[in-house]
Amino acid sequence: MQYLEIRGGKKLSGSVTISGAKNAALPVIAATILSDKPVTLTNLPDVVDIRTLLTLLTMLGGTVEHKGSVAHIDNSSINSHKAVYEIVSQMRASILVLGPLLTRFGECEVSLPGGCAIGQRPIDLHLKALEAMGAEIAIESGYVHAKAPNGLHGAKIIFDKITVGGTENIVMAAAMAKGTTTIINAAKEPEIVQLCEMIADAGVSIKGIGTNELVIEGTDGIPLQFKNVEIIPDRIEAGTYLCAGAITQSEIRLEKVKAEHIRASIDKLESMGFSFDISGDTITIHPAEHIKPVSLITIEYPGFPTDMQAQFMAVAALAEGESLIEERLFENRFMHVSELNRLGADIWLKGSTAAVKGVGTLHGADVMATDLRASSALVLAGLVAEGTTKVRRIYHLDRGYDNLEGKLTALGADIIRKKDTK
């Protein structure tokens, strides 16, 4: 099993280029199912989740040529409508093929994704919305069997809760449905804006892009013809590197980043004493005189992202004072707390809030990654912990961070990927 070995205490310097956003690329790849013509995607991050979804397309019968950050996809030859457990269980976001398969082919089977370390993560809202659009849905033997023999029809969907994946699935389903779909309480993350723009560029009318209310005029079964899509920069990767600069008290520059997408993280780091220069698509973070404690609540975009909660907790562990971090989106997204405490942090959990008492120093130890973003928090802590930190189960990290150790090494960190011989 591979692990990362980090010798803490090195200052970072220089610049790092931010990769394309995994969470934008996944729905964009799923949306290619809406087309029977070739489409080229660029600026894809080199991460396992992207390869997994591209593999799913080939298992459905699509043709994929994938090299580096570019994929040429031709879904004219799709001849299977089944997303099997072996793939969906590796990556929950495979559920994103449900909407496009159903709306284009009138039927599909998609394995239920099941829960995961950070919470139950049901898909009830996706299914309820598809039913409102005319889908007949049955759950049998762990699979969602969905049918719409006469195609889906437009509907007024009011999401009980803001859901990123649910909004994406329904936007894709609506694009080829008959008539108008209105999504109220839609998610408005930048990744959803990219998906909507891709579909709108293919000639589908979508009103309200970037707002909580989307109105989509479907093509009534006519497949779309996409223009090439360049994936937007990864705001969570960018936020993670800002935290790397912050926790090591280093000046580093991020390139190819959209500052407006990470405003919430920048604001919180400013409140902790860090300062920034933002110019075009670059952001430079400057060290703080003293790291001040922070108070934050995770919430939907443009609020503070749950995907940055763990990384901020690592920085808060070294603040001068007590920080309060409340997780509102996922019921169990605190698995990193006990691991950060193994490194010498002083964090107490009460319900969905973590009280983080800043300590002067962290100490290297063996720690275990539990989910994607928790892993990066442990790496961040390892960058400053005295001695050696070994972060295990880094397959979580490989799902979503493009060459993390390579990029950190280039910034001056002492971090190596190793393999247990056992």
Point out the residues that are catalytic: 116
Residue 334 binds ligand UD1 (CB under 6 A): no
Residue from 32, 306, 309, 389 that binds ligand UD1 (CB under 6 A)?
306
Q: Are 235 and 261 in contact (CB under 8 A)?
A: yes
Whichever of 198 and 329 has its CB closer to ligand UD1, that residue is 329
Minimum Å gap between C-beta 90 and ligand UD1 is 13
Minimum Å gap between C-beta 249 and ligand UD1 is 28
DSSP state of 262: G
Residue 307 binds ligand UD1 (CB under 6 A): yes
Token readout for 201 is: 């560029």
Instruction: Choose the stretch contacting ligand UD1; rule: CB under 6 A; options: 162-170, 200-208, 268-276, 358-366.
Output: 162-170
Whichever of 81 and 126 has its CB closer to ligand UD1, that residue is 126
| Secondary structure class of 282 (helix, strand, coil) | strand
Find, among 228, 196, 312, 207, the residue nearest to 262 by Cα.
Answer: 312
190: preceding bond cis by omega (within 30 degrees): no
Minimum Å gap between C-beta 109 and ligand UD1 is 18
Find, among 351, 395, 355, 361, the residue nearest to 375 by Cα.
Answer: 395
Q: Are 72 and 64 in contact (CB under 8 A)?
A: yes
Instruction: Render 170-224 in DSSP notation, one character per residue.
Output: HHHHHHTSBSEEEEES----HHHHHHHHHHHHTT--EESTTSSEEEEE--TTPPB
**Alpha carbon of 151 to those of 56, 62, 166: distances in Å?**
23, 21, 19
The interface mask with ligand UD1, positions 97-126, x = CB under 6 A, is: ----------------------x-xxxxxx
Phi, psi (deg, nearest 5) at residue 253: -115, 135
Minimum Å gap between C-beta 113 and ligand UD1 is 9
Minimum Å gap between C-beta 348 and ligand UD1 is 23
Q: Which of residues 119-158 bind ligand UD1 (CB under 6 A)?
A: 119, 121-126
Q: Which of residues 167-206 bind ligand UD1 (CB under 6 A)?
A: 191
Whichever of 305 and 344 has its CB closer to ligand UD1, that residue is 305
Residue 235 binds ligand UD1 (CB under 6 A): no
The interface mask with ligand UD1, positions 11-40, x = CB under 6 A, is: ------------x--x--------------
The interface mask with ligand UD1, positions 69-98, x = CB under 6 A, is: ------------------------x-----
Q: How many residues bind ligand UD1 (CB under 6 A)?
A: 20
Q: Are 390 and 5 in contact (CB under 8 A)?
A: yes
| Positive or negative torsion for Cα 219, 222, 225, 230 | positive
Residue 164 binds ligand UD1 (CB under 6 A): yes
Whichever of 23 and 194 has its CB closer to ligand UD1, that residue is 23
Query: For ligand UD1, which residue has the nearest CB?
Result: 165
Residue 265 binds ligand UD1 (CB under 6 A): no
Chain-centre distance for alpha carbon 305: 10
**Alpha carbon of 36 to those of 29, 73, 101, 344: distances in Å?**
13, 10, 12, 55
Residue from 252, 329, 367, 391 that binds ligand UD1 (CB under 6 A)?
329
Q: Are 328 and 353 in contact (CB under 8 A)?
A: no
Whichever of 165 and 273 has its CB closer to ligand UD1, that residue is 165
Q: Are 303 and 297 in contact (CB under 8 A)?
A: yes
Give me the residues that bind ligand UD1 (CB under 6 A), please: 23, 26, 93, 119, 121-126, 161, 163-166, 191, 306-307, 329-330
